[in-house]
Amino acid sequence: MKKLFVLFTICFSQMSMAQNEFAFNLLNEMEAEHNSFFSPTSIKVAFAMAYEGAERETKQQFEETFGFETNNEKFYKELASLGKVAKISNSIWIQESFDILESYISTINQRFGTSPYSVDFEFKPEESAEKINQWIEKSTHGMIKKIVSPLSVKKLKMALINAIYFKEKWKIPFNKNITQKRDFTNLNDEIVQVDMMRSSESYKVYVSEKVKVIEIPYENELTSMMIVLPRNMKKYRIGNKEYNEFHNQLRRQKVNLMLPKFTFESPTLELKENLEGIGFTHAFSNGANFSKMREENDLKIGTALHKAKIIINEEGTEAAASTVVGIGKNRSVSIANPRLDFIVNKPFIYIIKDNRTNAILFIGRMTTMS
């Protein structure tokens, strides 16, 4: 049984590489001077629902960008695995009297556990947006309260939505009584005072000339937060190569850790430009092929909205995100070592990951605190 478990873990680690590479590509595509936070898992799941309706070149770009396969069973197994460490919810919303192939609806129900909601985007956009926002708020335990507006849904024929919610306590909580105001140097060299949590415990760490990395486990031991502290954030880019190197080089050591306590909520992001920047263009064009959704093959992705929020404090972490993929008509607009000081007092990257597979649930870049 032990050998079978090892093989299972290796298999899932390989499956997660495509998702993680997508996460790093998207993070690197975003403006490096600004704070950013998103869930690659949420984005990938929402686009996986669209992938099930794609064909030809459109389908090929899904596979190149997200690592999907024609037989996508590996992804669905990975999704089921991630569902054990975070709450993952899906929904599909369709314009009244708009024909979508029953075979597609059946696939979405089987793969993503949801049946269609009927709404009137065209003539009741306020009501439709409110229903979607209420579903998202409920699915994220109130973390994400509004992501779509009446204007953003009015021209849609269908919306494919994912929500992910994560809440875990630290394995070793920080002592609230020793949290103190400390200096944090923003990317623009401005120095601000922040609430700095402190801990002197044993953690897995990695240190090189370019970067310091620490892994902070959660109570369930199935997940952890990885803090990546580059020497120079302005010139730093991260990818699978670096991420895998961190995991291979992490060693347990006594650490004096200082970590900012913060809450960050991203604005509602339109991901279209970022996705096009990493080569995902065809699904947004008038030449998009979603013939497995609708016989007329007259659909394209008009919008891809994403919103995320994270709260980090002495007790643990709460994080949530939601992704809305809006589908419109083609012509619409759309070791015993000395104790190491690990002081997070300048811009850093933070990752919430599944320890079994190293799949990234959430990723962010903190460049500016106030």
Q: What is the pLDDT of residue 333?
A: 36
Neighbours of 208 (CB within 10 A): 12
Any idea what the CATH number is for the domain that residue 362 is in? 2.30.39.10
At residue 8's C-alpha, the angle toward residues 112 and 59, to 5°, is 40
**Do 214 and 80 fall within a single domain?**
no
Q: Which residues in 327-336 are b (16+ Cβ under 10 Å) and which e? A: bbbbebebee
**Do 76 and 215 fall within a single domain?**
no
Q: What is the pLDDT of residue 73?
A: 87
Please state, in angstroms and rounded to a whole number, the distance separating the CA atoms of residues 301 and 324.
10
DSSP state of 175: P
* CA dihedral for 140, 146, 147, 153, sign (positive or negative): positive
**Do 101 and 117 fall within a single domain?**
yes
**Do 70 and 163 fall within a single domain?**
yes
**Do 96 and 128 fall within a single domain?**
yes
**Do 219 and 315 fall within a single domain?**
no
**Do 39 and 181 fall within a single domain?**
no
**Do 50 and 129 fall within a single domain?**
yes
Q: Regarding beta strands 191-207 and 316-329, do their DSSP bridges make them parallel or antiparallel, or are they unpaired? A: unpaired
pTM of the model: 0.92
pLDDT reading at 14 higher than 60: no
Neighbours of 97 (CB within 10 A): 7
pLDDT reading at 7 higher than 70: no
Q: Which residue is associated with the tokens 């279209």?
A: 272
Q: Which two tokens stand for residue 350?
A: 């933070």
Read off the pLDDT of each residue in 142-169 and give the average, rounded to a whole number: 96
**Do 286 and 313 fall within a single domain?**
yes
Q: What is the pLDDT of residue 5?
A: 32
**Do 84 and 202 fall within a single domain?**
no
**Do 198 and 134 fall within a single domain?**
no
Over residues 282-331, the pLDDT tens digits come to 999 999 999 999 999 999 999 999 999 999 999 999 999 999 999 998 86
Using alpha carbons, list the distances in angstroms from residue 138 to 87, 89, 146. Answer: 12, 10, 11
pLDDT reading at 332 higher than 50: no
Residues in the chain: 370
Range of the domain at 241: 170-260+336-366
| Total number of domains in the chain | 2
Separation of first and last alpha carbons in the chain: 51
Any idea what the CATH number is for the domain that residue 130 is in? 3.30.497.10
Neighbours of 209 (CB within 10 A): 5
The H or E element spanning position 200 is strand 191-207
Q: Which two tokens stand for residue 121?
A: 């985007």
Q: What is the pLDDT of residue 10?
A: 35
DSSP β-bridge partners for residue 24:
none
**Do 247 and 310 fall within a single domain?**
no
